[in-house]
Each structure stands twice: as structure tokens, then as C-alpha cells.
Amino acid sequence: MTSKVKSLIWLRWQFLMSNKFLLFLAISPIIYLSLLTIVGNSETNVLYMGTGVSSIYSLTAGSFLAMMISEEKEKKNLKTLILSGVKEGDYIISAILFPVLFAVLEVVLLPFIFQIKSMDWLTFLPVVCLTVVFFVLINLLIVFLTKSQTQATLFSISLYFLATFLPILADQSRLVKVILDWSFYGATTRYFSKVGAYSLTDTSFYALIVWVILVGIVTVFAYRRNRYLV
């Protein structure tokens, strides 16, 4: 890890410590979901788990990141970093570190909170980590392409509704189900539809890998676009 990355990570930590709202936004999903265990049971917990994972993806790896980086962009901090010679790789690593850590940690805690014993961690963790990375990268891309914090937040929330309602619509339409299976959220949905029987050889997991690679490439170019605009 380069000294620039360490400095950027330290600055982000200081920013979080001084912005309690964003910090609360990052940990709020696990708090709300913990309350569901009061009314849940062994049959509904898996359903809650699927909904909970969607919320964590969208808030912790989504809105949390979008609000943090878009505020940085509005205050011209991004312009300053670009002009100081910060490379896209260093910036992206420092930007996604805390959202990824918060999201993965909260998703890993969910099976214990909901007392789900049929988790296949060797398949669950790769699906979770890759989906988290996708949500982080797509929200970073949104921030790079939008002009204000309001725009970035709106697009981020739209992504949340897409991830939430696509699985519901898939139950009503075969076409939507096919779209969902090949979407960025297909691996998560298929995992919870057959807990304990999901395999990393499933086409939905390969589709997720492709989504992560494509969005990662576009995000790098979007960062460079901001470099050329300063």
C-alpha cells in the first residue's frame, strides 16, 4: 500500500469521525434488521435475510459512498486530489475501502442475527464480496458522472429500488426472471432461492463477475474524465 493511499484512507477516516450522519447511515441497516428478529421465525428469517442484504448493499455500499464522495466532489476536494497527482487506482481503493468493510461485515453478521444455520460460507462470501464491489463501483461511477450530491443520491436510491423490486417482479414474469438472473443482483437472488444448494458454477455468478469487470473499467475512465475536466 502506497503512502498516498494510506494518507487518503486516513483523511476518509477523519471525515467519517466528523460526520456522524454518514457514519450512522453506514451502520443503520444492521440496527434495523436486528429489530426484525423480534417478530421473525425460522421460516421468515431467510426472507428477511434476502431483503436485509439488499438494504445493506444499497445503503452501506451505495448511498453511503455516493453521499460521501459527491460531497467531496462538490467541495472541489476531488479536483484538488486530481491536480495533486493522485492516480485513479489509489483514489478508488481509498474510496471503496470503508464502504466495502462496512457492507461485508454487516452481511456476514446477518446469518448469526437471524440464526440461519444452513449457510454455505464458501459460496456465500464470494457472492457477497463481488456484489458489494459492484455496488461500490457503480455508485462511484454515478458520482463521477453526476454534477451534484442530489443527483448522485437520486440515482443511488433508484439502484436500491431496482435491486429490491426486480426479485418481486421476477416472480410474476419469466422475462424479468431471465433479466434478473443475468443482472448484477442475480447471484444474490439465486443464492437465497436455494440456500445450501447454490454453486459458484451457476451462470448468475459468472454474470456478476462480468458486471464487476465492466463497471470497474468504466469507473476508471469516468475518473479520468474528471481529470480532463479540471
DSSP sequence for 118-150 = ---HHHHHHHHHHHHHHHHHHHHHHHHH-SSHH
Spatial separation of the C-alpha atoms in residues 25 and 21, rounded to whole Å: 6
Is the model's pLDDT at 230 over the cut of 60?
no
Q: Is the dihedral of CA 32, 35, 37, 39 positive or negative?
A: negative
Is the model's pLDDT at 42 over the cut of 60?
no
Is the model's pLDDT at 87 over the cut of 70?
yes
Spatial separation of the C-alpha atoms in residues 37 and 210, rounded to whole Å: 35
Spatial separation of the C-alpha atoms in residues 170 and 174, rounded to whole Å: 6
Condensed to tens digits (0 to 9), the pLDDT of residues 97-124 reads 888 888 888 888 888 887 777 778 889 8
pTM score, whole prediction: 0.82
Averaged pLDDT score across all residues of the chain: 80
Spatial separation of the C-alpha atoms in residues 130 and 127, rounded to whole Å: 5
Condensed to tens digits (0 to 9), the pLDDT of residues 10-30 reads 878 887 888 778 788 788 888
Better-predicted residue by pLDDT, 8 or 128: 128
Condensed to tens digits (0 to 9), the pLDDT of residues 138-162 reads 988 888 888 877 888 888 888 878 8
Q: What is the pLDDT of residue 206?
A: 94
Q: What is the pLDDT of residue 227?
A: 62
Q: What is the pLDDT of residue 213?
A: 94
Is the model's pLDDT at 6 over the cut of 90?
no
How is the chain split into domains, by residue range? 3-229
Condensed to tens digits (0 to 9), the pLDDT of residues 52-63 reads 787 788 888 887
Query: What percentage of residues in the chain have a pLDDT greater than 70?
Result: 86
Is the model's pLDDT at 195 over the cut of 70?
no
Better-predicted residue by pLDDT, 205 or 176: 205
Is the model's pLDDT at 79 over the cut of 70?
no
Q: What is the pLDDT of residue 181?
A: 85
Better-predicted residue by pLDDT, 7 or 123: 123
For residues 210-216, give the mean pLDDT.
94
Per residue, what are the HEC states of 73-124? HHCCHHHHHHHCCCCHHHHHHHHHHHHHHHHHHHHHHHHHHCCCCCCCHHHH
pLDDT band of residue 46 (cuts 50, 70, 90) is low
Better-predicted residue by pLDDT, 43 or 140: 140
